[in-house]
Structures are given as C-alpha cells and as structure tokens.
Amino acid sequence: MRIFDKPGLAAFCLVACLLTAFQARAQTAPLDVGIFPHLSVRTLMERFQPLRDHMERRLQRQVTFVTAPDFQSFVERTQAKQYSFVITAPHFARLAQLKAGYRPLLQPKSPMRGVFLVSAASPIFKLSDLKGRKVATPDRLAVVTAMGEDALQMEGVKIPQDATLLALPSHNAAVLALRHGQAEAALISELQFLQMKAEERAELRPIATTKTLPMPLIFMAGPNMPGSEADAIGNAILDFAKTDEGKRFLDMTRYQDIEPTSEAEMKQLDPYLPALERALGEKP
Amino acid sequence: MSGVCKWCRLGVKILSASLAIEVLMLLLLLASTSAVSNSRLEALFHLRLDEVGKLFNASLSGPLASQDLATLQDVLDALRNEEAISYLVLVNNRGQRVAASGWAESKELPQPMAKPVIGKRFDASLPITLAASHYGTLHYGVETALLAEAQQTLLARGALIAGLEVLLSAIALSLISLLLTRRLVRLSEAAETIAKGDLSIRVPVGDKDEVGKLAVSFNAMADALYARMRALALSEEKFSKAFSGSPDAMIITDSESHILDVNAAFERIFAMPRREALGAQVSVLCAADCAQALDKIIGSPDSISGSEIVLTRGDGKMLSCLISSDNIELAGSACRISILRDISARKEIEAALERSNHDLEQFAYVSSHDLREPLRMISSYVSLLERRYADKLDDDAREFIAYAKDGAERMNRLILDLLDYSRATRDDKPFAAFNLSSALQGALDNMQLLIGESQATITNDGALPQVAGNITQITRLFQNLIGNAIKYRSPDRPLVISIKAAPSDHQWTISVADNGIGIDQQYFERIFMIFQRLHGRGVYEGTGIGLAVCKRIVEHHKGRIWVKSEPGVGSTFLFTLPAIDGTP
C-alpha cells in the first residue's frame, strides 16, 4: 500500500523540512521562562540566576526569566499560554496542565509546607492565639495561603471572622510585614523560612505548620513547545542539579534535588483547584 | 620728565608689561579653568548618569522582569523631568517599545551619543538588567541646559574676577610705578642738572630701599665729581696761570713735534706770534745745525732738565736757552711740554765775568811775580845789613832786622801761594777723559815721602771712574786733600784715608775721608776761603790756601766741594765731577 503518492511525498518532505527548520530555529531563539512571583522580583531573579546561567550555557540560547506583578497575573498569563516554559507553584501547575495543556516535567525533591511565624518575643505560641490578630501571607492565590487558611480553620480560627489575613505579593514581603509590626504573624513556605539567614531566623519563632505538598514548585513545558525542546530543557535542568553550582543552588533553596514529576503526585494537587479557580474568579 | 616719550617711561613699561603678563596668565587660567571645569562637569555628568542609570535600572528592572507595563509607564512618567530628563523610552529585549514618556510612539529613537555637547540634549541608552540578565534598553534624553548655564556662569564670574584683578593690579602697579619713577625722575633731573654744570644739586635719599641706595650713591658721585671738578679747575687755573704768566717761554708739542700751544712769554722771547707758531714744527726755533739737538730733547721719551741750547728767534737773532722738557698727556694724547729759559743775558755776564776773572788772574800772576822782585831786594839787603853790621848794632836793632826778615819771608810765602792760587786753573788745555785712578796715583807718587813719614794708610775701594777734565788739576786736588788729611791727622790713632767714588745725577761724587782731628761745623764754609786758617801759625804751618785751591779746581770742572766732619772723629771732603756724556 502506498501511503504517499509523489505529490504527497513531496508535500510531506516539505512539511518535515519546514518543521525541522522551525524546530531548529525555535531551539536557538531566546527562551522566556515564566517564574511565579513567590518572592520579590530581585530576590527571585537573583536566586534563580545560577539556573538561568546554566540553561543559557547548556542550551546555547538566550534564556530570560520573567515573572508577573502578582500571582493573579502570572496565572492568567500562564493560562493564556504566554510562557513557553514556566516554573510555577504546584496548584498553578496542575491548573495549567489541565486547562492550558502545559506538561509538567520536573520538580524539586523536597516537599513543601507552610509555617506560621511570630517574633521570637511574641506571646503567641499556637494558632489559636492568632484570634483577633493579623497574619501576613503571600498572595491570596498562593497554595501556602490556602494551606494556612485550612490549618487555622482546623484550629478553630475562622477567616475572616477570627483573624485577618494580610495578603502581600511574596513570602519575603510577608516576613517583612511581621518584622515591621504590620502583622503579628506571618505565613510563608517553610522552604523560604529555611532559606533565610540564621540571624534572621533567630528573630522569628515558628508556632505551627500546614499540611505538606510533595513539591514546592514544578517545571513545565508550554503547550506549544516541541517535545525535543522540552526534553533538552528538562535535561539541562537535571544536568544543572549535578553541577557544583546546581548543588549550591539546591542546598540554598533546600530543594535537595530535581527529579521528574509523576502524574500521581500531580493528582495530589487537585483538591486545591476548586478554591484556586474560585479565587481567580474573584476580584482581588 | 622732558625728553622721554610717553610710552618710553619706565612706569608705563612696567605697568604695560605687568598687565600684559597678568592678562595673559589670567586668560590661560580662565582657559585652563574652563577646560578643567568642562572636564569635571563632563565627569560629573557621566557620574550622575551612572547614578541615575542605577536608579533607572533598579526602578525598571523589576517591573520589566515582571512585564508590569502599567508600572513601567508610571515609573517612566515619574522619572521624566522636562528640565533634566526630556524623554524616556523603554524597549524590551525583543526590540518592542514597552513604555515611553515624552517621546511620540511613531518617532524614531535617536542614536545614543558618546559624549555630551553642552547646551544640547544628550541622547543616552541604558541596558536594563536584573541578576545579570538583560531585559531591555532604556533610551532617554538628558538636557544639558543647566550645565551650559553653569559653564556660562563660571566663565562670567571668572571673567569678572579677572577683570577686577586686572583693574586692581593696574591701580596698584600705577601707584608703585609712580612712587618708584618719581624718585628715578628726580635722579634723572639731578643728573641733567649736573650735566649742565651745576654740581651743587643733591637728591633726597628717602627710603632705605634700592632707589634710596641709588640716591646715596648718586650724591656720593656728585660729591666726588664736585671735588674732582674743583681740583681740576684749580689745577687748570694754576696751570693756565703758570703757563700764561710764566716768564719763561713754554711750548706744548705733540708726538710729531708739532707746536700745539705757546705762552705769551714765548711770543715775547722768540719774537714770534702765537698764530705763526701753532702747527709749525719745533725745528722752526733753531738753525739747521742745532735742529737735531732740539729734536732730540723734544722727542726724548725721558724727562730732560737744564740742557743748554742756542735757538733762533723769529727775527733771526740767536738766543741762548736753558731747556727743560717732559711728557704730559692732554685729552688722552701723549704730548710734551718744554720750558725755554732765555739765558742770553746771563751768558753774556758769565762771559764778561770770565774775562774779568781772567784779567784778574793775569793781574794777580803778574803782580805776584813782579812783587817778588822788590821783596827779594828787601830781603837781600836786610840779610846784607845783618851780615855786615850785626856786630855794630845793638840788640834791639838786630831784633828789628829779624822781624823785617821774617816778614819778608812770610810775604814771599804769601805771594808764592797767591801765585799758586792764580795759576791753579791757568792750564787752559781742553778737558779730556781720564781715569781718576791715574790722577790719584800721580798724587800719591808725589807725596810718597810725606805719606811714608806720616805712616798713613790710604785705601781705595774699587776702581775709580772715568771723568772729563784736566788731569793735572785733579792730581793737584787729590794732593791737596790728602796733604790736608796728613797735616791735620790725630796724634791718637794711625791715619787712615779712604777714597771712594759714587755715581749721582749725571755726575760722580768722590769722597776723601780721614780719621783726623775733624772740623767744627761752624767752619765748614770758612775753610774753603783763601788765606783762612783755623789754627795759629805755631800749631800748623801754612797760609790757608790749600782748600781754596781745591774749591777753585772743582768749580773749574763745574763741580761742587763741601765737607762733612765731626771733631775728634774725622772729616770727609766730597766733590763732584761731571760724568762723561752726562752718564755716570
């Protein structure tokens, strides 16, 4: 059976050539990597700079990490497929996977949970003490915020009746609010807490943690990214974890290692999607 | 100050030179300051740009990395300032304009400039980076009007300060120049006054600075000049009076023996008007036979004193002159001044005296010779009377006869001595050169017996010189002086007679020294007079004619004789004889 006649074969070859050329061009074009704004922009970019530098060297293409002013914008841009590659929060990743066709590739090995922090000299020792208090949190769309709200409810502290959540753009903004007295407690990722300097950590005291997620973030290929390109990027990231620079990065971020993401782990994020989609539908 | 042009004045020169240098230096300073300030302004501008760039980057990198266009636009609008930042355009790393302020969307962006041009907008670009990642480029325009204004203000103030400095310097220098030149002008005017002949002017010294020192020196110079001029005037007056009022003729000649000037006495003595003499050769004053002698005197490089010469007057009459000549310098030229004394009258008197002396000598000789004949007759007859009638006469008569005989003998002695004195210089043989040693030896030979008896020692240190004269008379001279020394020798010591000769001015001085009894100073003149005796006839024999004869001989040879003596020590008789050709 002849699958292609002569004109068909010619057309197939032309399309194949064009695709190959397109892929080749795409794999040398600048790569914009969207990273969710869980830290202030400068801290975020400086923290991920070793990874970006490694990717540029490895992929032989310009790599630019971009972010968004807030989680809402980031999620919207992600859903609008503006990013060809994203590093995003787990529940954002699940939403992007399911709604926008992003493909989860890799994740840090360390799990992630939220931690409630108060000043070292604070009279607050447990979550129930937060009644009538103000708690600084990252963006209201952050999974940590959602897990923290669950933790508070489980301790009988209803939001917004018993305590006020002060949503700030990032984790370090929440810590700063605690330090400057804008809030009596702060809720941030434990990993972010561990990444802080020892003297800064000494001024703070954890009083409670949230439930644990299997990963702090997920590396995802955009829906339009060819598989080979996604593989190349994924390999570059995995390779980064084996370098000295990468090890220092993983040590500093407490990510331990980077490994492929499994669908099973992705499914563990589903419970957070309804609330996320609800929040996205609300005006901030 | 008269005679000095306005622009040649020292003060004007100092002022002009100082101001010119100051203006030049100020211009250089201004140019240098301007260049340095421009450089500094440019450096500050770039420094400010760097600082602004960091702020721009810090403000824009986050929103750009977050792709927060609204924030970017807000930031650009906030950063824009019409006076400093005229526009801002942010282009992402895809080349898309993501925000702009003060720049039309469709307007093409200008090329960034390498260096600012003061007064024009400076177009710059700034890469926006975050964590070493390039997110875009900010294009912006910086207005430099403030820089231009600052530069102009700096220049204007610099020019104003420079102008004020020049003005103040001009005033200060004018005052200094005025103070300085006023004193110099005084000095100059004083110098002009002195140049006009008024040596009495002096300048005030004032301050003890350099000009004051100059004034002191000037006054010292004026004092010295005054003294010199006064001395010169006095000297000139004396010379003029001596020259014009001299009874002797005086002539001044140049090195070629041309007559430069003569005095009034010259005109009178030489019967020659001054105007004829001036410029003429000095040989006009003599006949051909004496021209060479006169030229030798006038042209001599040495001083000539008292040379006799016969010259010719303007009317042709002959004139005996005593000429003295010496070198002088007039107005820097070597000249010679000569004094001509008219000795014609004296020569005539000398000639007459010579004749008279000759006649007197002749008379004395003849008289002496003739007087001896009757004296011999008296002496003969007194002796005859004594011999024939002595026994017939009493003692008184015989004593009288003895007195008469002694008187006749003494008179004979006196006549013989007088005859001897008159004949002393009668030998008219012309003077000839001979050696004094010959004359001395002749005298010693003649006195050999007397010298032997007196046991005298006669020394002669060195050879005696050649002289011109009459050897017979000089032999007699030595004979008389040595005889005198023997006669008046001291009984207390052996007689030593020393004879020496020493050269003196154009002559020889011969000394005959002894260690005899000596002579008291009061008799130094008297002993040379005829028939003058210092001792009685009973002590020393003689009539007192010997030294008179010596004097006559020496004077016959144009010489002089005198004595130095100390009683009890000895005497030295000295006499001069002319040297041959005037050179001893």
CATH of the domain at A64: 3.40.190.10
Please indicate if any CB of chain A lies within 8 Å of the CB of B133: yes
List, edge to edge, every strand of the sheet that includes B85-92. Answer: B97-101, B85-92, B133-142, B122-130
- Per-residue pLDDT at A1 exceeds 50: no
Q: Taking CB atoms and an 8 Å cutoff, what residues of chain B touch A69?
A: 63, 66, 68, 71
Instruction: Give the C-alpha separation, A41 to A43, whole Å.
Output: 6
Instruction: Give the C-alpha separation, A118 to A134, whole Å.
Output: 11
- Per-residue pLDDT at A127 exceeds 90: yes
- Written out in words, the top-level CATH class of the domain with range B3-162 is alpha beta
The DSSP output letter for A170 is: S
Q: A64 with A132, same domain?
A: no
Residue A278, Cβ density class (10 Å: 0-12 exposed, 13-18 middle, ≥19 buried): exposed
Does residue B310 contact residue B297 with C-beta atoms inside 8 Å?
no
Q: B66 and A42: CB-CB below 8 Å?
A: no
Please indicate if any CB of chain A lies within 8 Å of the CB of B96: no
Choose one of A213, A246, A265: the last residue of a domain.
A213
What is the chain B residue with the closest CA to A56?
Answer: B133
Q: Taking CB atoms and an 8 Å cutoff, what residues of chain A touch B62?
A: 40-42
Q: A52 and B134: CB-CB below 8 Å?
A: no
Does residue B547 contact residue B525 with C-beta atoms inside 8 Å?
no
Please indicate if any CB of chain A lies within 8 Å of the CB of B62: yes
Q: Each residue of A11-48: pLDDT tens digit?
A: 555 555 455 555 555 557 889 999 998 888 888 999 99
Confidence class for position A7, pLDDT limits 50, 70, 90: low
Q: Each residue of A54-102: pLDDT tens digit?
A: 999 999 999 999 999 888 999 999 999 999 999 999 999 999 999 999 9
What is the chain B residue with the closest CA to A29?
Answer: B94
Q: A48 and B131: CB-CB below 8 Å?
A: yes
- Residue at A20 is within a domain: no
- Per-residue pLDDT at A4 exceeds 50: no
Q: Give the pTM.
A: 0.50
Q: Is the peptide bond before A160 cis (omega within 30 degrees of 0)?
A: yes
Q: B65 and A40: CB-CB below 8 Å?
A: no
Please indicate if any CB of chain A lies within 8 Å of the CB of B63: yes
Q: Taking CB atoms and an 8 Å cutoff, what residues of chain A touch B135?
A: 64, 66
Q: A140 with A205, same domain?
A: yes
- Per-residue pLDDT at A9 exceeds 60: no
Instruction: Give the C-alpha separation, A215 to A259, whole Å.
Output: 10
ipTM of the complex: 0.76
Q: B67 and A77: CB-CB below 8 Å?
A: yes
CATH fold of B432-578 reads Heat Shock Protein 90 (3.30.565)
The pLDDT value recorded for residue A6 is 57
Strands B97-101 and B85-92, sheet pairing:
antiparallel
A:B CB pairs within 8 Å: 52
Q: Which of A123-127, A209-213, B150-154, B476-480 has the lowest mean pLDDT?
A: B150-154
For chain B, first and last CA: distance in Å? 68
The partner residues of B182 in beta bridges, in order of sequence, read: none
Q: A185 with A232, same domain?
A: no
The DSSP output letter for B319 is: E
The Cα of A53 is separated from the nearest Cα of chain B by a number of Å equal to 9
Structure tokens at A126: 């447990």
Please indicate if any CB of chain B lies within 8 Å of the CB of A68: yes
Please indicate if any CB of chain B lies within 8 Å of the CB of A46: yes
Q: Each residue of B122-180: pLDDT tens digit?
A: 999 999 999 888 899 999 998 888 778 877 888 888 888 888 988 898 888 888 777 77
Question: What's the structural domain count of chain A?
Answer: 2
How far from B18 is each of B8, B15, B26, B159, CA to CA, in Å? Answer: 15, 5, 12, 18
Q: A174 with A144, same domain?
A: yes
Choose one of A168, A187, A213: the last residue of a domain.
A213
The pLDDT value recorded for residue B6 is 65
Q: Which of A53, A65, A69 sits opposite B68 (nearest CB)?
A: A69
The pLDDT value recorded for residue A3 is 46
What is the chain A residue with the closest CA to B62?
Answer: A41
Domain ranges, residue A185? 112-213
- Residue at A24 is within a domain: no
Does residue B39 contact residue B154 with C-beta atoms inside 8 Å?
no
The DSSP output letter for B583 is: -
Q: A64 and B71: CB-CB below 8 Å?
A: no
Choose one of A158, A184, A213: the last residue of a domain.
A213
Q: A69 and B66: CB-CB below 8 Å?
A: yes
Structure tokens at B113: 């400039």
Please indicate if any CB of chain A lies within 8 Å of the CB of B54: no
Q: Which of B68, B94, B133 sits opposite A52 (nearest CB)?
A: B133
Structure tokens at B33: 């300051």
| Mean pLDDT estimate for chain A | 88
Using 50 as the pLDDT threshold, list the residues of chain B that sit under it: 1
CB count in 10 Å sphere of residue B42? 15
Instruction: Give the C-alpha separation, B492 to B314, whole Å.
Output: 69
The pLDDT value recorded for residue B234 is 87
Q: Taking CB atoms and an 8 Å cutoff, what residues of chain B touch A40?
A: 62
Q: Which of A45, A68, A69 sits opposite B133 (nearest CB)?
A: A45
Phi/psi at B582 (5° precision) = 75, 5
- Per-residue pLDDT at A151 exceeds 60: yes
SS (H, E, C) B315-332: CCCEEEEEEEEEEEEECC
Q: A205 with A224, same domain?
A: no
Domain B246-344 part of CATH 3.40.50.10070: no
Instruction: Give the C-alpha separation, A92 to A111, whole Å.
Output: 16
The pLDDT value recorded for residue A102 is 96
Q: A224 with A206, same domain?
A: no
Q: A69 and B63: CB-CB below 8 Å?
A: yes
